[in-house]
Amino acid sequence: MVRKKTTPQHADVLDAATTGDLAFLQENEDRLRAAVDAHGCTALHWAAGSGHMDCVEYLITQNLDPSQKQTTNGRTPLHYAARNGRTDVCRLLIEDYEVEADALADADVTPFQLACWQVQESVMRYLASRNDVNPSRVNDFGCSALHWIALAPRSVDVDAHLRCCAWLEEVIDGDWSLTNSQGHEPLHKAAFSGHLHMCEWLVEAKGRREVPDGHGNYAADLAREGGHDKVARYLATTAAPDREKLAAKLAKLSGTRVDASDAASLTKAFRQAALLHHPDKSGDASLFDDCVQTYRKLVDGVPGNPLRDPEKIGTLLGASSSKFARFEAKLLVVLLEQPSGLALGSLKKRYQRAFPADNADFPDPKAHGYRKLAHLLRKECSNSCRVDDNCVLHAARAKGDVERLLLLDGGEAPPPVDCVECP
């Protein structure tokens, strides 16, 4: 257990329970029930989580409730014992003191799920062997034990982790395609947690492939979000769905022929589809979202991702060889990747996130002028970044960003226009 904030007069009691100092607890019998940390954990929670059997038994004799739920998340001493792998304490609480083995904390989290999360194999096997424990239980977020074990700490022993995954699958007759309320499979969780070994096992031994979650994110996307680039690369190149099918889907959206093996062909089709189906133009975001997700999945598996290669982008979008023109081409791709629109004030951050290795800084207004940037947005991106013929980025106008940026270069602010999207 992690040290919690406590009141100074009772911190020593909780410390004694944590370290197993039975003598101190006995000497301070009158203070035991008053010792509660800021999260509602009693000395019994701490003793159980730390595995001190003698302290657990003594505290129970002093009328500390072995079934008491702490106030922050409703976890009992059994939850902490299971989480920390204290099998003997779990057995003592359940068999000698009749604590509910499948006790529900907040969000219907069980001791078994916490044991799976921390890959506590001994506790997992003990709890699963009991008739009063349902290892297949799903919590309020739709997460099964398969999701919990996929979220194991990065420090987990690889062999133990995979062994427990295989055992768990058999015990609960688990389906690795089960999704939670966010549309996450265990593969999404394993990717976000950076478990390359588990991702490899799920892909190669269990036949799992990349599927979008409820927000359109693939497991590779979540791996990147968690900072696990190696996992993301593996999933993008190994677990991608059938490329020919995705290319056919993109061809239908764009109305053009698509070569699934050619990155330039894929990117050209995406740009065409984006211009045809953007929600600002069609009023329906579904086709545009479909287009974006299909394209991302396709290019993720292409060596030398065209979205991250300045030379390919410059050629692809017809930019000239000048430094600023190549910037414009890259900027357009950044904008095309933002289905919900993008304020001018966010451009620099988005650009640098997309091209972290680019030596060229975001253009300085004194050197290039934001008039050129605003002109590019008006001329080239009207159907791909929430811009219409008269209004430069609705979100930016709402903030006054356009006017401010134009004036930085001595230009004139654009005149007010009638636009249903603008305030």
> Has residue 419 been placed in a domain?
no
Do residues 338 and 353 share a domain?
yes
Among candidate residues 359, 353, 360, 250, the one with its CA nearest the CA of residue 299: 250
Do residues 180 and 92 share a domain?
yes
**According to the model, what pLDDT value does residue 403 have?**
38
What are the angstrom distances between the C-alpha of 1 and each of 15, 51, 64, 77, 125? 12, 11, 19, 11, 21
Do residues 374 and 287 share a domain?
yes
The total domain count for the chain is 2
Do residues 172 and 233 share a domain?
yes
* Average pLDDT value for the chain: 78
Flag whether pLDDT at 245 surpasses 80.
yes
Q: How confident is the model at residue 84 (pLDDT cuts 50, 70, 90)?
A: very high
Helices and strands of the chain, counted as H and E runs? 24, 0
**According to the model, what pLDDT value does residue 354 have?**
65
In percent, the amount of the chain with pLDDT more than 70 equals 66
Do residues 181 and 268 share a domain?
no
Instruction: From 200, 218, 242, give the residue that closes a domain.
Output: 242
Q: pLDDT per residue over 165-193, tens digit each? A: 999 999 999 899 999 999 999 999 999 99
Q: pLDDT per residue over 385-411, tens digit each? A: 443 333 334 444 444 443 333 333 334
Q: Is the pTM of this model over 0.85?
A: no
Residue 173 burial class via C-beta count within 10 angstroms: exposed 0-12, middle 13-18, buried 19 and up: exposed
- The Cα–Cα gap between 242 and 214 comes to 20
Do residues 149 and 273 share a domain?
no
Do residues 33 and 89 share a domain?
yes
Which residues, 6 or more positions from 409, have their beta carbon under 8 angstroms from its beta carbon? Answer: 365, 366, 369, 370, 371
> Has residue 265 been placed in a domain?
yes
Quote the tokens at residue 113: 């799920």
Q: pLDDT per residue over 287-329, tens digit each? A: 877 877 787 677 665 555 555 444 444 444 444 445 555 565 5
Flag whether pLDDT at 375 surpasses 80.
no
Flag whether pLDDT at 72 surpasses 60.
yes
Question: How many residues are listed for the chain in this entry?
Answer: 423
Flag whether pLDDT at 255 surpasses 60.
yes
Q: How confident is the model at residue 91 (pLDDT cuts 50, 70, 90)?
A: very high
Q: How confident is the model at residue 214 (pLDDT cuts 50, 70, 90)?
A: confident
Domain that holds residue 60: 8-242
Flag whether pLDDT at 378 surpasses 60.
no
CATH assignment of the domain containing 224: 1.25.40.20
Instruction: From 214, 242, 270, give the residue that closes a domain.
Output: 242
